[in-house]
Amino acid sequence: MKVNIYKNLKLTPVQILAIGFAVVILTGAFLLNLPIATQSGERTPFIDSIFVATSATCVTGLVTVDTGTHWSYFGKTVIMFLIEIGGLGFMSFATLIALLLGKRITLKERLVMQEALNSYSIQGLVKMAQYVLMFTFSIQLGGALLLSTQFIPEFGLGKGIYYSVFHSISAFCNAGFDLFGNFQSLTKYYDNHVIILTISSLIIIGGLGFYVWQEIYNFRGLRKLSLHSKIALSVTGFLLLFGTILMFILEFNNPGTMKNMSFKGKVLSSIFASVTPRTAGFNSISTADMSTAGKFLTIILMFIGGSSGSTAGGIKVTTAGLLVLTVLSIVRGREDTEIYKKRISKDTIYKSLAITVISLGLVIFVTMVLSITETGVSLEYLLYEATSAFATVGMTLGLTTELSFTGKAIIVFTMYAGRVGPLTLFLALSRRKVSNNIKYPEEKILVG
């Protein structure tokens, strides 16, 4: 007799999604806790195993142990698979396995996929999942081939290929994990345009979202693009351009970052410093030595993140764009939020506002708790760490390895909440959506 676990447990799609990520994290943590997962052959403390597993599954990049020197190739491969599963969503892989086995995708599973892919409807979701997987593997293969032209001459054939595949997956999934050791990330490649531009391109492609690239692939003119794609592309382009310009200005004469670089190195580092806070976590300059203004700009870019339905985190560029457009509409005295001769529904604006307020509240709350558990650490470091964890970025000023046991547990929860989505997590924890047909009298309140 076949048992339908979804029906018996009576879980909502968002609850299945939240639980699914937790199961993947725990599985990865137990594998990383095995002696064969480390180069020394000793077990890693479980808090560090679950921290790294959460960071990989939530495509964050924050680590409490050095990825390149601590883990064996078994451990690194586990991390790589966790990044891939976390970046694309476990439901995409479950769909692939089901299709390979010839199984039928049920309505309940389609609803979970809809939530995972952040889709408008369940129509065409199976084909969408197939497209996501094919697109992902194609882009990652292309990225690995480009990176191999640099890594194979440096590390040899076998290690060079492995490094190329690992970093291509890590970049596309916006994870930020690297294997170069000693927490140096891409700092020694700051003037290598092939590596910097390839990693940057993979980060941008992964951060734009699968729906946007599907429309670009089937491009039939700007008028045919959906409003979502137009806003995602516009805001992303704006953030990348002005982020690069501001980073170049702010860090140009900073002796700790770009002052001693060539002009080419400064340009590449400025581009990368603007791209990587889109929730990737790599860095080509020392984040701890950046100017205060540079760090603050990075925090803003991290909080915004990438596009909806992508491998990126943050509140998403469409959310930030809609809030800015709403403010502009209010200033202009218009009743509705309008863009490209289209009107945005009030429900969408309310959801954007809810996501932003909950996210901001979570970052503030985590920063306050860390200020209690991590004594003697400046507010700048705490806010940077909390934002990086929530937005699943993985950039740090050096605090991650110094966290207390409680601090690590807090960051683990923050990464999980950031990847699942704060609003999704709240909905998953709530029992049901309350339908209220009662309309109370309207009253006015003074604001501003």
Asked if residue 445 is part of any domain, the answer here is: no
- Residue 372: which residues within 8 A CB-CB, separation 6 or more? none
Asked if residue 448 is part of any domain, the answer here is: no
Amino acid occupying residue 140: Q
What the block records as the tokens of 29 is 């943590």
Asked if residue 288 is part of any domain, the answer here is: yes
Distance CA(130)–CA(314), nearest Å, equals 25
What the block records as the tokens of 9 is 């447990």
Tell me how many helices (H) and strands (E) the chain has. 19, 2
Query: Is-contact 206 231, C-beta < 8 A?
Result: no
Unique residue bearing structure tokens 């929730």: 279
Cα dihedral 405, 407, 413, 417 in deg (nearest 10):
-160
Distance CA(173)–CA(337), nearest Å, equals 32
Task: Output DSSP code: residue 397.
Answer: S
The residue with greater pLDDT, 160 or 176, is 160
Amino acid occupying residue 177: F
Distance CA(201)–CA(207), nearest Å, equals 10
Segment among 212-221, 412-421, 426-435 with least mean pLDDT: 426-435
Indicate if the pLDDT at residue 120 is higher than 60.
Answer: no
What the block records as the tokens of 392 is 């699943």
Unique residue bearing structure tokens 């985190």: 313
Total domain count for the chain? 1
Buried b (16+ CB within 10 A) or exposed e, 129-146: bebbbebbeebbebbbeb
Segment among 27-31, 227-231, 268-272, 366-370 with least mean pLDDT: 227-231
Distance CA(397)–CA(294), nearest Å, equals 12
Confidence at residue 149, expressed as pLDDT on a 0 to 100 scale: 95
What the block records as the tokens of 56 is 């990989």
Asked if residue 297 is part of any domain, the answer here is: yes
Distance CA(308)–CA(250), nearest Å, equals 29
Structural domain harbouring 289:
5-429
Query: 316: left (phi > 0), else alpha (psi -120 to 50), else beta?
Result: left
Segment among 54-63, 81-90, 280-289, 405-414 with least mean pLDDT: 81-90
**Most distant CA atoms of the chain, gap in Å:** 73
172: number of CA atoms within 13 Å, CB side?
A: 25
What the block records as the tokens of 446 is 């003074």
Unique residue bearing structure tokens 């960051």: 411
What the block records as the tokens of 387 is 């934002």
Nearest of 302, 276, 322 to residue 414 by alpha carbon: 302
Strands 342-344 and 337-339, by their bridges, are: antiparallel
Nearest of 176, 168, 135, 175 to residue 150 by alpha carbon: 168
Query: 343: left (phi > 0), else alpha (psi -120 to 50), else beta?
Result: beta
Confidence at residue 267, expressed as pLDDT on a 0 to 100 scale: 94
Nearest of 268, 296, 293 to residue 283 by alpha carbon: 268
Indicate if the pLDDT at residue 13 is higher than 70.
Answer: no
Asked if residue 447 is part of any domain, the answer here is: no
* 344 strand-pairing partners: 337
Query: Is-contact 186 283, C-beta < 8 A?
Result: yes
Unique residue bearing structure tokens 């952040």: 118
* 38 strand-pairing partners: 71
Segment among 134-143, 199-208, 355-364, 429-438 with least mean pLDDT: 429-438
Query: Is-contact 126 105, C-beta < 8 A?
Result: yes
Nearest of 110, 142, 102 to residue 129 by alpha carbon: 110
What percentage of the chain has pLDDT greater than the value 70? 80
Q: SS3 for 131?
A: helix
Name the range with the highest mean pLDDT among 109-113, 352-356, 401-405: 401-405
Q: Average pLDDT of the chain?
A: 83
Distance CA(272)–CA(191), nearest Å, equals 11
Segment among 221-235, 287-301, 316-330, 429-443 with least mean pLDDT: 429-443
Confidence at residue 109, expressed as pLDDT on a 0 to 100 scale: 54
Q: SS3 for 391?
A: coil
Instruction: State the average pLDDT over residues 41-53.
Output: 94
